[in-house]
Structure 1
Amino acid sequence: MAEPELATKGPESDASAPPPPAVQQTPPAPTLSEHCTSDRPTPTGQSSTGEVTKLADIDVYISKPADYPHTPSKLLLLLTGGTGLHSVNNQIQADRFASEGYFVVMPDLFNGDAAPNASTLADEPTTPGSFLDTFKIKAAETAKSFLIDMWLARHTEEKVMPILTKVIDACKDEFADAVSHGGGVYAVGYCFGGRYILLLAGERPTVTGRGFPWSAVSTPAPDEEAGKTVVGPYIKAGAIAHATLVSRSDFEGLKAPVSLVSVENDPLFPDEVRTAGEDYMRENGVEHEVQVYPGVPHGFAVVGEYEDANIKSAQVTAYEQMLKWIKEH
């Protein structure tokens, strides 16, 4: 496979009529792709080995190293795409990190409400054979887009961040040994979950009664100079694969080291957002790495079967990139 790139007019109107006023283009609302909301086929012969349980009243999937607790482990938070907690592929992803010595906690970010139309993707899309087939496909795509937009409206930062901070606080109590052994909490995130790695890795000011609605979940530290309080960072280091819904402002206040697995020409994580983030991190001394993978689809780094050997190879490389980053920090 190609090596990933390292990146530190309308109809004419009547001549006598005045020209119509310019229409301001509204950028499209952020959304997700099929790769964020549907699983690839599970690799042949593989199944998950962890368990779903409750932590601070939140469903979590926990995967432990085989020799835990006899051998110390570091705590790793894994944040999923839209397929969520019960996706076998996501669970296998957690198990892979556990096999490397991490105590993995994968929380249900969606409170039992995984993304709509989450299903297994075939390797190649069906080619429409007739006008009616094409119409049906387009109608289905429109319906899916609407359902995903509605789903996103239910799972905003104001809903997801309290889940995460609550789980992190509970981990510090329930799994204090793992948190202590790693000197904090590590985190990896895919697709939807990728943006939240940035939020957890940042330090942000807030004012009592204003600012982030979730900021009261954890006790903020005083910032006497600004007359404000500061929340975060919540993690020691993070790794992100093909994040979605990221804006330039999500990089502001970033403190913890982050590694980015990005897809070349990814409309769900546009180049201008990524490069603005790189500029911010470089100018503010945030330790980071960015690798851009050509010729792969969004979502490629999540466990799942592909026929294309180049994609399969890139999937392995992306996992190794993320694992190496958290091991070195």
Structure 2
Amino acid sequence: MTSVQGTVVDIPTEDGVADAYLTHPAEGGPHPAVLLYMDAFGLRPRLEAMADRLAAAGYTVVVPNVFYRARRAPVLDLPEFIDAAARPAVFEALGPIMAQLTPEAAMRDAGAYLRWLESCPAAADGPVAVTGYCMGAGLSLRTAGTYPDRVAAAAGFHGGRLATEAPDSPHLVAGQVTAELYFGHADDDPSLPPEQIERLEKALTEAGVRHRCEVYPGAGHGFTQSDTDAYDRAGDERHWEALLDLLNRTF
């Protein structure tokens, strides 16, 4: 297996400095870049391990702490394993932090992350790929629509609220997307009910976006996160196959 080199970096933004985890193959390079958006539980060992797995496949990966306005990672003192008993307290603490990250602020930050990758010696020239988890899936879609000249592929897994009736719903950027998209939806996910899945599919199809949206049977919201009780091994491995297929097609 390819050895990787990971480190913490600081990314200047219009609103401050975002700490991030950067990882890439230890030898060779530069490598195609991937911007990985965290879930709500934040930048932590599980996401670093996921980034390292992508790096071992030949990519330079950066995982920003999108909650940097609150504090550097870890933003919360999380338990080693997040189960149903821990969730209420965690989300109570996360509420005001998540509220700070408006779509406008998130996309200002996305521009900063992409500019930083342009000057990163470990990242190859040219467009990047984006992937995101839970809330990060929406950020992935928004980034593809906001910066179409910089994003060649974007993926999202167990995303929530991707196609609501709100005037700033993520799916409304479909008309600006030029990247190839892939979404792996959780099965029976209250944050992404069937009507939102249909609305997302319709918007992407009508906009002529190259895309595939799949529901993973039996996999609940958060199925890629092995440090939570939502983890589903089969769904996680299917996600890796789909993501690496997308990246291989793109780069």
TM tier relative to shorter chain: 0.7 to 0.9
Work out whether 1:237 is the aligned partner of 2:153: yes
User: What are the residue-to-residue correspondences of 1:244-259 with 2, within 5 Å?
Assistant: 244-248=160-164, 249-254=169-174, 255=177, 256-259=179-182
Name the Cα RMSD after superposition.
2.7
Structure 1 regions of 5+ residues with no counterpart?
Answer: 1-47, 127-136, 204-230
Distance 1:307 1:272, change over 3 A: closer
Look up the match of 2:105.
159
Query: For the structure 1 residues 120 and 324, does the alpha-carbon distance in structure 2 shift closer, same or farther, using more than 3 Å as the test?
Result: same
Change beyond 3 A, Cα 1:89–1:242: same
Q: Would the aligned equivalents of 2:158 and 2:186 in 1 still touch at CA under 8 Å?
A: yes
Aligned residues: 233
Q: Give unpaired runs (5+ residues) of structure 2.
A: none
- Relative to 1, partners in 2 of residues 1:307 and 1:49: Cα closer, same or farther, differing over 3 Å? farther
Matching of residue 323 in structure 1 with residue 244 in structure 2: yes
Higher strand share: 2
Which sits farther off after the overlay, 53-62 or 266-275?
53-62
Match of 2:142 among 199, 203, 225: 199
Aligned to 1:174: 120
Q: Distance in 1 between matches of 2:114 and 2:227?
A: 28
Matched with 2:32 is 74
* CA distance in structure 2 between the aligned counterparts of 1:260 and 1:198, rounded to whole angstroms: 10
Moved more, 89-98 or 287-296: 287-296
- Which of these residues, 45, 58, 78, is aligned with residue 88 of structure 1? 45
Specify whether residues 233 and 274 from structure 1 end up closer, same or farther in structure 2 by C-alpha distance, changes over 3 A only: farther
Aligned-residue offset at 1:289: 0.7
Q: Which runs of 4+ in 1 moved over 6 A?
A: 305-308
Larger Rg: 1
How far does the alpha carbon of each residue in 1:308-329 deviate from its partner, in whole angstroms, 9 at most, with x for none? 8xx2122111111111112112
TM-score, reference length from structure 1:
0.63
Supply the distance in 2 between the matched residues of 1:326 and 1:119 (Cα, whole angstroms): 32
Give per-residue Cα distances to partners, 1:105-153, cap 9 Å, x unaligned: 1111110366656323366x57xxxxxxxxxx9xx93x65543332222
Offset of 1:51 from its aligned partner? 1.0
Alignment of 1:14-25 (within 5 A): none
User: CA offset at residue 62 of structure 1?
Assistant: 0.6
Secondary structure of 1:320's aligned partner: helix
Q: Identify which of structures 1 and 2 has the higher relative contact order when contacts are C-alpha pairs closer than 8 Å and 6+ apart.
A: 1
* Alignment-derived partner of residue 64 in structure 2: 107
**Percent identity of equivalent pairs:** 26
Report the 3-state secondary structure (helix = DSSP H, G, I; strand = E; otherwise coil) of the residue aligned with 1:178.
coil
Deviation at 1:284, TM superposition (A): 1.8
CA apart distance, 1:263 = 0.8
How far the C-alpha of 1:271 sits from its partner, in A, is 1.8
